[in-house]
Structure 1
Amino acid sequence: MTIIIFVLVLWYGGLFFQSFFLHRYAAHQVFTMSKTMERITFILTWFFQGASYLSAYGYGIMHRMHHAYTDTEKDPHSPSHDDNLFAMMWKTKTIYQDINEQKIAVDARFTKNVPQWKSFDAFASSRFSRILWITFYILFFVAFATSWWQWLLLPITFLMAPIHGVIINWFGHIYGYVNFKMKNTSKNLFHFDFLMMGEGYHNNHHKYASSPNFGVKWHEIDMTYVIMKLLNFFGVIKLKVISK
């Protein structure tokens, strides 16, 4: 039971900060927060994503490119132009690294106000940091695993962020339903998004990219947005007013 709880904490903790910080803040800037809170959120993102930590700078720019070039050959990740999900993941990884390492020219519209903490990203993305987290995960499993099948969950802890990404960027463009007819293949994966905390309402998000709430219909409860409303109420963040 301890292992299941541990994996769930990593799953939903890492997912929340990917959705809240990397996606809705870095890429779309649907809310503002103080510089101190931004730095704290960088650290919390590293803590929960661990071995699969993603830079807000690289993620933010790449996601803006995804919206600008959805389902075209310039899209950093699209089932329409990648043979399989592994090919898409590799292409995404390469583009993400090239952005972070400034190996490719990026249009200024994609970099505007994207948060960046170079020194922290250099550490959090380093091989040392990733090996440190992987070692911790293995030792945790050694200490608390009570059955052989629980070890099958260990690779998930290493690759949590890429798994989250592929669920939305691959399956969210193939399976599901649509509320809005778009010039792209985006779909809503779930009528109630219990798995991805609102990220699964991908068709809604492509329709209203600047909205902090990815849910549209009454049953489309966006748990990340619910938490953001609480953070806004307590003054931790300030949600922007967006009319649909």
Structure 2
Amino acid sequence: MSILDFLAHGLTGSPTWLVIAYFFAVTQLTIFGTTLFLHRSAAHRSVEFHPLIAHVFRFWTWLTTAMVTRDWVAIHRKHHARVETEEDPHSPVAHGIWKVVFHGVTLYQEAKKDREMIMQFSQGLEDDFIERKLYAAHPNWGPSLMFFINLALFGFIGVAIWAFQMLWIPVMAAGVVNGLGHWWGYRNFETDDRSTNLTPWAFFIGGEELHNNHHAYPSSAKFQLRRYEWDIGWSVISLLRRLGLAKVLRIAPTLHVRPNIQLPDAETLKAAMTVRFELSKRYFREVIRPTLHDELAAAKRAGIRLSGRLRRGIASDGRWLSNEQREAMETWLATRPSLATLVEHRRRLNEILARTSKNAEERLEALRAWCSEAEASGSRALAQFAADLRGWSLAPQAV
């Protein structure tokens, strides 16, 4: 083989099918290394992998991304702790959607300069010899080695593959998930942030497309939470678990409704606090939305229209509206006392369940009072919701 043949086709001869298969294999392995190892295992401790599997993931993320485990984990944990605030390293709310989509890597590089923050949010990570002396000390050696591997295998075509590899995480993770995943999509849960699910069939970015599900239950190894959803990352975890190479530590809790419970008890309170984002979404769907639909229809007949933004604001209690928009929403609600009552009951319930409010006994008494008032409110939907809520508990987890 001449040098020109080698540079043109590499050691493999670069058949089209092999180039395509190799490209998708290496980029998907990088995605799996990020979502399974860095995200679900290192950052959230929801799954443990066999040391060999964990090191394969760690080596591959070093080889293909130059990301240091400690830096990535700390920045991600801070994202959850400071979500949608000025301190959030990559929030579209704070930085703007297009900056996060197109300059997500820049935001990541800026965040990792704060070494005090990195140490604060990276507690409990493995810090062995190879991490200190190679992966963290020389992160750029990995992609450099990957460059020569690709060049040897495919010649100049391998260089193009390498370039796309280097763009894969910045585009798919930093851009699509961190950006679009807080800007566009559907929401199963009314979380305290603007996270969304990009698609119910999450197979291209390792399951990270189900971003709203993840923000609702960050410590869950399983992102698919509806029957119609698919998290390919969970499929890989399940396969590794069957092979004895992974141990699932936590998944999202499941609600169980106990019959004939007359008063909310400690189990009720624990369940409501644990699934409070699902509770808020369910309250809107079962209690507020039917009345809202009737009020919107009546307003339309009277020639009055409520903007889509304000309708969505009612669903989120106006959390993401401007002061002017929130005032307009409150004015509209003030002329519709039945709907305003339902919205006010939701606000009070959310205040009771907020972790910063009261101690457990005070919260339980407040929850009991809320249920009594809800059942006496005159709203059949609200009374039924309160009656169901009394029997809420968490089903035993079988991970």
TM range (shorter): 0.7 to 0.9
Match of 2:144 in 1: 131
- Residue 187 of structure 1 aligns with which residue? 196
2:92–2:183 Cα contact (<8 Å) kept? yes
Q: Secondary structure at the match of 2:155?
A: helix
2:81 pairs with 1:68: yes
Q: Is the 8 A contact 1:27 1:60 kept in 2?
A: yes
The CA deviation at 1:174 is: 1.3
In the other structure, the counterpart of 1:220 is 229
Aligned positions of 1:15-94 closer than 5 A: 15-35=31-51, 37-47=53-63, 50=64, 52-83=65-96, 84=99, 85-94=101-110
Shift of 1:143: 5.8
Q: Is this contact kept in 2: 1:137–1:157, CA < 8 A?
A: no
Deviates more, 1:68-77 or 1:230-239: 230-239
Q: Which protein is bigger by CA-based radius of gyration?
A: 2
Deviations 1:16-70 (A, max 9, x none): 11011000011001122455553343224334xx2x2322211111111111111
**How many angstroms apart in 2 are the aligned matches of 1:135 and 1:219?**
42
The structure 2 residue matched to 1:112, chosen from 119, 123, 132, is: 123
* Paired residues of 2:66 and 2:142 also in contact (CA < 8 A): no
Identical pairs, percent:
26
Using CA pairs under 8 Å that are at least 6 residues apart, name the structure with larger relative contact order, 1 or 2: 1
2:217 pairs with 195, 200, 208, which one? 208
CA separation of 1:140 and 1:80: change in aligned 2, threshold 3 A: farther
Whole-Å separation in 2 of the counterparts to 1:154 and 1:237:
30
C-alpha distance 196-79 of structure 1, shift in aligned 2 (>3 A): same
Q: Please tell me the residue identity of whatever aligns with 1:38.
A: A
Q: 1:35 to 1:193 in 2, by over 3 A?
A: closer
Aligned length: 230
Q: Which amino acid aligns with 1:223?
A: I
Preserved contact between residue 193 and residue 220 of structure 1 (Cα < 8 Å): yes
TM-score by length of 1: 0.83
Deviation at 1:107, TM superposition (A): 6.5
Q: CA deviation at 1:139?
A: 5.0
One-letter amino acid matched to 2:46: V
Structure 1 counterpart of 2:247, from 219, 238, 244: 238
Q: CA deviation at 1:82?
A: 1.8
The one-letter code sitting in structure 2 at the alignment partner of 1:69 is R
Q: Which runs of 5+ in 1 are unaligned?
A: none
1:161 is matched with 169
- The reply to whether residue 198 of structure 1 matches residue 207 of structure 2 is yes
Q: Secondary structure at the match of 1:159?
A: helix
Change (3 A) 1:27 1:135: same
Question: Is residue 2:15 matched to residue 1:6?
Answer: no
Q: Which runs of 5+ in 2 are unaligned?
A: 1-15, 254-399
Deviations 1:130-161 (A, max 9, x none): 3232343355453658xxxx95x653222222
Q: Higher helix proportion, which one?
A: 2
User: How much has 1:72 moved relative to structure 2?
Assistant: 0.6
Contact 1:79 1:170 survives alignment (8 Å)? yes
The one-letter code of the counterpart of 1:185 is R
Shift, 1:172, TM fit: 0.9
